[in-house]
Chain A
Amino acid sequence: MTPKSSLGEFEHHVLLAALRLGDEAYTTSILTELEERTGREVSAAAIYIALRRLETAGMVTSRMRESSERGERRERRYVRVTPTGIALARGARQRLLSLWDGLTIVTGGHRA
């Protein structure tokens, strides 16, 4: 696959949610995180596909790990954002900020 140089909007969201969750990032925890933060329903399948794509592009790594939850042992695929992923997220943020810079119409300036 060709290395990714930019992120799609949804991939961007997933990556940020994974970063927020840290060691507890897996498909459904990302789903809950995104829903809580964005207030929109998110498809588990879309997250799953996005994570696989990000993994192929080297932005996250994943591994199976067992965890114990309310006495139940559960196996999950946990993801961790790689330095490349962090760098790309940072680049995406920079680009967004530079686009937002000075947009007072939207941010509540003169003619709101």
Chain B
Amino acid sequence: MSCETLREHLDDYLDGRLAEATERAVSEHLAECGACSRRLQEARDLQGALREMAVPPPSGDLLERAMQARARTARARRQMGALAAAASLLLAVAAGWLALDTRQDPLEGTRMVAVTPNQPEKVSLVFNSSERLEEVTLTVKVPEGVELAGYPNQRELSWRTTLEAGRNVLELPVILRSITERALAARLEHGDSRREFRLRLQPQEPEPTGGLSLTEGPAA
């Protein structure tokens, strides 16, 4: 057997997969050839080294973490459903604004709420409007340092819906991830009309109270 042929059989020899006659021929060659013998030893060393490669333990209970992640996802989906429904209502009211009032609304502009950083806070936007309006788009822009609970990487959310007259509430489950103030922007569009609001999120010390709300008053 030549050295080249031996190299072809080396792996099968290591794994014990050679036919008896071939295995005997390999063994005879190895007994006479120092270079091939060294090659076999190197291959055995590598196999042994691979078998001994350590696996560091995980940093926590993976099943528990997965179950928690699943629960968070389910919760976020439910919140998102509620959010979409609330957004529909909001759009209806705001559409009334958009249709009826082309002046600068005194309520338009910037409002501020205090929120506890790094925990979900419900921020409610309440809108009143006098008439129904269709095809209104609401866009919420989430700045760096703020996230919507369950959607850590979502920087913009947009809905298109029909608005009804009356009082409408949009609850935004926000988490302030910053120790400095951030501003959330909401935009309402209907046809050529557009209204923008900014909601400043001011960090505060943790309090035992629940959600916070921002109320927008009635339209013109």
A, B assembled together: no
